[in-house]
Amino acid sequence: MLNNIGIPGLLLIAVVVLVLFGKGKVSSLMGEVGKGITAFKKGVKDGSEEIEKQAATTARDVTPEAEKDKA
């Protein structure tokens, strides 16, 4: 269904959205979308850092006891 839209169809949709909502509303909506994307990226980054930190704290030394004294 959406395969046949093309560039002219997208332009028509953009014009209709602009006419219906106005420039200010569309601009503020895009600003909110940008903030949401930024917050999502920050959350993913913080989550991966937390997982790495947790993995680093739970890492253990698996060297056999007999070889620990040799070093």
Query: Is 5 part of a structural domain of the chain?
Result: no
Query: Is 27 part of a structural domain of the chain?
Result: yes
Query: Is 11 part of a structural domain of the chain?
Result: no
Residue 68: partners with Cβ closer than 8 Å, 6 or more residues away: 61
What is the reported pLDDT for 40?
96
For residue range 7-54, list pLDDT tens digits in order.
889 899 989 988 988 888 888 888 999 999 999 999 999 999 998 888
pLDDT band for position 70 (50/70/90)?
low
pLDDT band for position 64 (50/70/90)?
confident
Query: Is 39 part of a structural domain of the chain?
Result: yes
Alpha helices in the chain (DSSP H): 6-58, 65-68
* Cα angle for residues 38, 19, 1 (degrees, 5° grid): 75
What is the reported pLDDT for 61?
67
Domain hosting 49: range is 23-58
Query: Is 13 part of a structural domain of the chain?
Result: no
Residue 26 CB neighbours (<10 A): 14
Query: Is 4 part of a structural domain of the chain?
Result: no
Domain count within the chain: 1
What's the Cα-to-Cα distance from 20 to each of 12, 16, 24, 26, rounded to whole Å? 12, 6, 11, 10
Query: Is 69 part of a structural domain of the chain?
Result: no
Query: Is 51 part of a structural domain of the chain?
Result: yes
